[in-house]
Amino acid sequence: QKPIADWNAYRDQLESIQGPQKVFIRSAVHRVHENAERLGYLPKIVFPEGTSSKILMAIRTCIEEKICRPVVIGNPEQIKQKAKSHDIDLTDVEILDHSNDPKFPLYVEELYKRRQRKGITTKEAERLMSDPNYFASMMIDRGDADGMINGAATNYADAVKPILHTVGLAKDAVPAGLNIVLADNKLLFFADTTVNFNPTAEQLARIAVQTAQVAEYFGQKPRIAMLSFSNFSGADGTPAKMKKAAELAKKLRPDLSIDGDMQADTAINSEIQQRIFPFSDLKGEANILVFPNLESANISYKLLQQIGKVEVLGPFLLGSRRAANVLQRTTTVETIFSSVVLTALESQFITDWRNKKH
């Protein structure tokens, strides 16, 4: 894909997107609008990487498509300069100079309270809070914004840690990366593509169930494959881990079709399942692929993304208490736009859930 010089060139490229991605995202946009009408407001989404031109271009589209109320964190002069040099209109974009924000001392105090038994001092909390990623995380944690997106200009680990340190995890959740793979006649969910180097069987079972909840939200009946290099061997090492992960996931969600260990072709080809492994509890093509480790998951989604013929959305961060998603650094403006749409949707889901609870 060619680099995009300015907003006008980007708009032409966005309009040329066709196929499954367009259908999926259009339907998500429609749901964001319906929810916003019901709730009475568009979600406030905060962007800590205000000087990234890719982020600013995606924000412009979000405003035109009425996806969110964006807040961009950073030095106002630098942000305006960046927007000007790419011909991006900043109307309706709130720019927040976090270091001079009246809430800065309160956020520092809050971070210190949470991390004092993890070895941080007040001075350290102040230093961390001057990082826009921490400030944005604290905004969503305290309800001063509904969702956030970072990672377009920060390496993944540095972008995700502020979220884990402030927002933290939902009850019993395991943090994990999810990518959604869209092909003409397939919708696949890949996990964990970004967080855990070598997850245990227990963590993989939880990740599978968390992914199943996302698939169900998008109207898909989850069929989960625990992937390895062997079919139902349960051999020492990875096959045994994936076999155990399948057993644990079945206990967590006995209503779902889940099995493993199995190879990737068995997982997504029901003819192989019926002909060679008719005993498998996975009936039909898997739509959730749980990988045994970070290498296999990350390599798979990145290869697919480059080879083409499929569209890859995400990564999305599973397990966080609030809608916070971390992009890959090589992300494109279109992917940022789709990530904002899904972050907005996730934040509305969390708002509904919290309203029901209280």
Residue 194 interacts with ligand ACO (CB under 6 A)? yes
Quote the least distance from Cβ 168 to ligand ACO, whole Å.
7
314 contacts ligand ACO (rule: CB under 6 A): no
Taking CB under 6 A as the criterion, the residue among 83, 125, 191, 195 binding ligand ACO is 195
Which backbone phi and psi does 184 adopt, to 5 degrees? -55, -45
Residues 99, 345, 223: CA angle, nearest 5 degrees:
125
Cα-flanking dihedrals φ and ψ of residue 169, to 5°?
-105, 150
Query: If binding is defined by CB under 6 A, does position 153 make contact with ligand ACO?
Result: no
Q: Tell the smallest beta-carbon distance from residue 309 to ligand ACO (Å).
A: 20
Interface residue with ligand ACO, options 315, 338, 339, 350 (CB under 6 A): 315
Q: How far apart are CA 318 and CA 266, in angstroms?
A: 26
Number of helical H runs and strand E runs in the chain: 14, 11
200: enclosing H helix or E strand? none
Distance between CA atoms of residues 129 and 114, nearest Å: 13
Q: Pick the closer one to ligand ACO by CB: 169 or 240.
A: 169
Between 73 and 112, how does the x/- string for binding to ligand ACO read (CB under 6 A)? ----------------------------------------
**Which positions ≥6 away from 198 have C-beta within 8 Å?**
293, 294
Number of residues interacting with ligand ACO: please give it, by CB under 6 A. 17
Q: What is the DSSP string of 5-61?
A: -SHHHHHHHHHT--HHHHHHHHHHHHHHHHHHHHHTSPPEEEES-TT-HHHHHHHHH
Nearer to ligand ACO, 147 or 315 (CB): 315
Closer to ligand ACO at the Cβ: 118 or 358? 118
In which order are the strands placed within the sheet that holds 257-262? Answer: 257-262, 223-227, 288-290, 186-191, 176-183, 311-318
Is residue 320 a contact residue for ligand ACO (CB under 6 A)? no
Question: What is the footprint of ligand ACO within residues 199-258 (CB under 6 A)?
Answer: 203
Q: Are 10 and 57 in contact (CB under 8 A)?
A: yes
Helix axis angle for 333-357 and 7-15, nearest 10°, is 80
Looking up tokens 């079709």 gives: 257
What does DSSP assign to residue 237?
Answer: T
Q: Could you say whether residue 161 binds ligand ACO (CB under 6 A)? A: yes
Interface pick for ligand ACO out of 145, 160, 248, 262 (rule CB under 6 A): 160
Rule CB under 6 A: say whether 174 interacts with ligand ACO: yes
By CB under 6 A, residue 317 contacts ligand ACO: no
Nearer to ligand ACO, 5 or 299 (CB): 299
- Distance in Å, CB of 160 to ligand ACO, minimum: 5
Residue 21 binding ligand ACO, by CB under 6 A: no
> Whole-number minimum distance, CB 195 to ligand ACO, in Å?
5
CB of 209 to ligand ACO, least distance (A): 14
Specify the stretch interacting with ligand ACO by CB under 6 A; choose among 9-17, 127-135, 190-198, 253-261. Answer: 190-198
Name the residue among 102, 160, 114 with its Cα closest to residue 122: 114
Q: Which of 298, 325, 338, 348 binds ligand ACO (CB under 6 A)?
A: 298
Q: Which residue has the tokens 């993989």?
A: 204
Select the residue interacting with ligand ACO from 63, 164, 264, 310 (CB under 6 A).
164
Q: How far is CA 335 from CA 2, 59, 67, 88, 338, in A?
A: 14, 12, 14, 18, 5
Residues near ligand ACO (CB under 6 A): 118, 156-157, 160-161, 164-165, 169, 174-175, 194-196, 203, 298, 315, 328
